Structure 1
Amino acid sequence: MASDLHFHVHVAAPTLEVGTPPVPRGFPAVASPVSSTLIAGDHDAVLVDTPWSHEHMAALIDWVDSFDRNLTAVYITHGHGDHWFGTPALLEHHPNAKVYATADVSAYIARQHKHRGSMWESRFPGQICQGQINPEPVPDGGISLEGNALQVVELGHTDTDDTTGLWVPSIRLLVAGDSVYNHCHQYLNEAAHGGLESWYRALDIIQALDPVYVVAGHKDVAQPDDGGAVERTRKYLQTFEQLTREEGQTREEFFDEMIRLFPGYANPKALWRSIVSAVA
């Protein structure tokens, strides 16, 4: 008989970047807050995504251990390093946990590892966890947790290529990775050449599951993990897309309008970089 499952969310705090040009209106240049989700049964647990810095991982390991569960698996939703760089540190404390990802995500992880110096360590010197991971393919029936199947949902391009979510049907939970953001400015640097259309399709896939709970890959720690985050993500994308079509506005005016329309959203730096990528 399958155990009842519960989930818990840990959010790694934003981290200040080194040597990054300032963001308009005095906002700090930081990395977005990153969520990790522990899906727990009576005795075992599965973790989805890990953060990336030594400080983040010390806090996450203590948090995982506080639930007194046997960690059997770690699932990585996509290849961006801020969602997996810390996994080797976690495995030092939980060596029997298996690491899973899709084949496409595993290939992305290998590329990200190769370029971590230029892409990450230059902005966060001395902070990035080291070590490589080689995820296993997810079993055909999904990741098993005390009689419950945790199922991979292929989502395609969202804020990067080959993203996925992990669906827990028994509690109608989708751990969405970066396909969903929750009260946090979205990373749209990779949105050219049909990226937004693909992201809208991913959101359609998620909504068709009719989830009760959705954990966003980047979120404000104070926000609930509810299904409404999916539609809020869509609204943000649609608004950004609409503003890119407006003629005669400066990047700063674009930025100010998004800040006005989405007040209090975390990490305006991500918005500014998205605008620089989208507007000549």
Structure 2
Amino acid sequence: MTTSGNLAYDVLVNDPPPQDGLLPNGEPKRFSPQASTLIYGSEEAVLTDPGLTAEQARAVGDWVEGKGRNLTDIFITHGHGDHWFAAGLLADRFGARVVASAGTIGQMRASAATRPVLWDKLYPGLIPPAPVTAVTVPGNRFTLEGHDLVIVEAGDTDSADRTVRHVPDLGLVVAGDVIYNGVHMYLAQRAIVGGLGPWRAAIDTVEALQPRHIVCGHQNKELDDDAGRTIAETRQYLDDADDLLRTENTATGFFNAKIERYPDHLGRMILWIGASVVYGVRDHPEEDIRKIILSSWL
């Protein structure tokens, strides 16, 4: 927990849901840990990225309730379902508004449309109903007890239309999937946009905000929120990915080499999926990339 005057933030990291299947090294498939962030004042609070499953919604809701504040808004950083499918349950529980950028709302609709062929197959029966009820706010900013909460457009990282939430009075950026913290990064977007340049530009956007603290959408709960460290490590991970893509000829080789370089990183399933997409597109450029992505997840 970090505080500034009457403003504070806290983070809950949910463990990934159970899942069938094995990775190439024989490990069970496990999704990445997912972080939800609560910004709160004396009486009110705003939540970011409430999670994926009904069980995660319960855990996040109980945690929020324990703070004793009125939850006014739930902010979604981007459209990947693991960051927002639980929003409806929490909005109903607390009477809160769901807020996102226009681009994120479009991506949320796309995730909802693909849910039957992807998310519900990965986690059958675990995900609650998830209508897209998010709204935009004027100027991409709103306030909490007089403190600005600013939605900053970051562009492409592990998918399009990424945003982060900047809380200047806390020196905080809630970074969604722009910055990672001790967790393998989802690299499939590299195959879609033709490189990691847009992601590096998004990191520059976050750095320009001069945060002291960064909460990442996927992070190891044993690590701190130091902004300088997480920015530097995210950049290094991308640089290492480009290096290995020049030397490794197969997705399995890339997967193993990344684990050798990052033995303590969590979320190896996401590493494998991203590698499968990148090498699938490289080896079969004539195939529909959407089919390659879907088969890599399943």
TM-score tier, shorter chain, comes to over 0.9
Deviations 1:112-170 (A, max 9, x none): 11221111001100001113032111232711100001001100000110000000000
Distance 2:104 2:252 in 1: 35
Which residue in 2 is equivalent to 1:222?
A: 222
Distance 2:252 2:139 in 1: 49
Which residue in 2 is equivalent to 1:239?
A: 240
Which residue in 1 is equivalent to 2:112?
A: 113
The question of whether the paired residues in 2 share the 8 Å contact of 1:3 and 1:148 is answered with no
Q: How big is the shift at 1:278?
A: 1.8
Distance 1:55 1:224 in 2: 25
Distance 2:156 2:224 in 1: 25
The question of whether the paired residues in 2 share the 8 Å contact of 1:75 and 1:100 is answered with yes
Q: How big is the shift at 1:99?
A: 1.1
Q: Report the CA distance shift for 1:104/1:273 in structure 2 as closer, same or farther (over 3 A).
A: same
Deviations 1:21-77 (A, max 9, x none): x21222221221111100010110100111111111111110000000011111100
Counterpart check, 1:178 vs 2:173: no
Amino acid at match of 2:156: H
- Structure 1 residues 152-171: aligned runs within 5 Å: 152-171=151-170
- Structure 1 residues 44-193: aligned runs within 5 Å: 44-95=44-95, 97-140=96-139, 142-192=141-191, 193=193
The question of whether the paired residues in 2 share the 8 Å contact of 1:141 and 1:149 is answered with no
- Where 2:58 maps in the other structure, the secondary structure is helix
Q: How big is the shift at 1:3?
A: 5.7
Q: How big is the shift at 1:195?
A: 4.5
State, as a whole percentage, how many aligned pairs show the same letter.
Answer: 37
Distance 1:165 1:55 in 2: 25
Q: How big is the shift at 1:253?
A: 2.7
TM-score (norm 2): 0.89
Distance 2:67 2:222 in 1: 21
Q: How big is the shift at 1:196?
A: 1.0
- Where 2:201 maps in the other structure, the secondary structure is helix
Q: How big is the shift at 1:13?
A: 0.4
Q: Which moved more, 1:128-137 or 1:50-59?
A: 128-137
The question of whether the paired residues in 2 share the 8 Å contact of 1:36 and 1:47 is answered with yes
The question of whether the paired residues in 2 share the 8 Å contact of 1:76 and 1:100 is answered with yes
Which residue in 1 is equivalent to 2:289?
A: none
- Where 2:138 maps in the other structure, the secondary structure is coil
Structure 2 unmatched runs, 5+: 284-298
Amino acid at match of 2:11: V
Length, aligned pairs only:
275
Which residue in 1 is equivalent to 2:295?
A: none
Distance 1:80 1:98 in 2: 19
The question of whether the paired residues in 2 share the 8 Å contact of 1:87 and 1:133 is answered with no
- Where 2:247 maps in the other structure, the secondary structure is coil
Which residue in 2 is equivalent to 1:8?
A: 10
Higher helix share: 2
Amino acid at match of 1:104: G
4+ residue runs over 3 A deviation? none
Amino acid at match of 1:73: D
